[in-house]
Amino acid sequence: MMTLARARRSVLYVPAANERAMTKAESLACDAIIFDLEDAVAASVKADARAALQAHFSASPTSTKGRIIRVNGAATAWGAEDLAVASVCKPDAVLLPKVETAEQVLEVRTALDRSNAPDTRLWAMIETPLGIVNIREIAALGAKPSIGLECLVAGTNDLAKETGLPLPEGRSTMMLWLASVIIHARAFGLDVLDGVYNDFNDADGFTAECRQGVNMGFGGKTLIHPKQIEPANTAFSPDTALIEEARAIVAAFAAPENSQRGVLSLNGRMVERLHAEMAARTLAKAGIVFNG
């Protein structure tokens, strides 16, 4: 059975100041948790949040989920101490907020390597106009394995704040920027996650935004509330129809009589070997191993 260890369909933020929620998050069905030291933690309790986070990691040094720590930016009064705590906690990744240059990512890599955390990966939030403008130089770090950048996260609330744009239904005004983040991430082999949906009691609106994210090419969604986990997992997993279609395509190309063929007709549609590769990826994502 193929594992879904690297799935990032549902990535839940939890304020590091909230011990109860941190513990709860570990038992929920999200694929990964982002422990937040940045905007979800008030300035007056930054130090308490850091201490609570360290206590949480030392009480539960391992987890079945991906664990990410979002630090404050290096230019803030808290950035350096946050990084120091992250290098002790050794999460899977550190998430850098408001990234605007490749240099900012490189500096954190150097700091983590010096603090004996060379295996800690990096995630970058793209959430300011300058971050969007410089997206190519930032995403291009994905092509350098030594940097360990593996994921970009769209920060839609900050983008709305910085541009003065409201977040209208359907996010029409933001499409161009989000699409730019996605295509750059894919060009350089990075995963890419959609921003949060603030109205956690609006289930229909949330599901619609998840679907939009799937169709745009996001690999998963960042979340703020436990209620959003199941719908995100469903939206970002292949559905039954897609799985059945994938099985049929893989089976058709695996048939001995088709072993020399590059293109087939299947149920009235053309399928090529590239579709078989896509189908195999769909099955792997669904945790299905095809045995011919």
Q: Which residues bind ligand COA (CB under 6 A)?
A: 12-15, 20-21, 24-25, 36, 39-40, 196, 224-226
Beta bridge mates, 191:
151
In the set 36, 158, 191, 209, which binds Mg ion (CB under 5 A)? 158
In the chain, the amino acid numbered 256 is P
Query: Which of the choices ligand COA, Mg ion, none does residue 196 contact, using the CB cut-off of 5 to 8 A by kind?
Result: ligand COA
Binding of Mg ion by 194 (CB under 5 A) = no
By C-beta, is 34 or 141 nearer to ligand COA? 34
Contact call for residues 228 and 10 (beta carbons, < 8 A)? yes
How far apart are CB 152 and ligand COA at their closest, in Å?
16
By C-beta, is 233 or 282 nearer to ligand COA? 233
Q: How far out from the chain centre does Cα 237 lie?
A: 14
Measured torsion, CA atoms of residues 44, 108, 52, 41, in degrees rounded to the nearest 10: 30
How far is residue 89's CA from residue 97's CA, in Å, rounded to a whole number? Answer: 19
Q: Which helix H or strand E contains 109, and what residues bound it?
A: helix 102-114
Query: Which of the choices Mg ion, ligand COA, none does residue 158 contact, using the CB cut-off of 5 to 8 A by kind?
Result: Mg ion
Reduced to 3 states (helix: H, G, I; strand: E, B; else coil), residue 117 is coil
Q: Which residue number places its CB atom closest to Mg ion?
A: 158
Binding of Mg ion by 245 (CB under 5 A) = no
Query: Which of the choices ligand COA, Mg ion, none does residue 12 contact, using the CB cut-off of 5 to 8 A by kind?
Result: ligand COA
Contacts of 179 (CB under 8 A, 6+ apart): 216
How far apart are CB 43 and ligand COA at their closest, in Å?
15
Where on the chain is the footprint of Mg ion (CB under 5 A)?
127, 155, 158
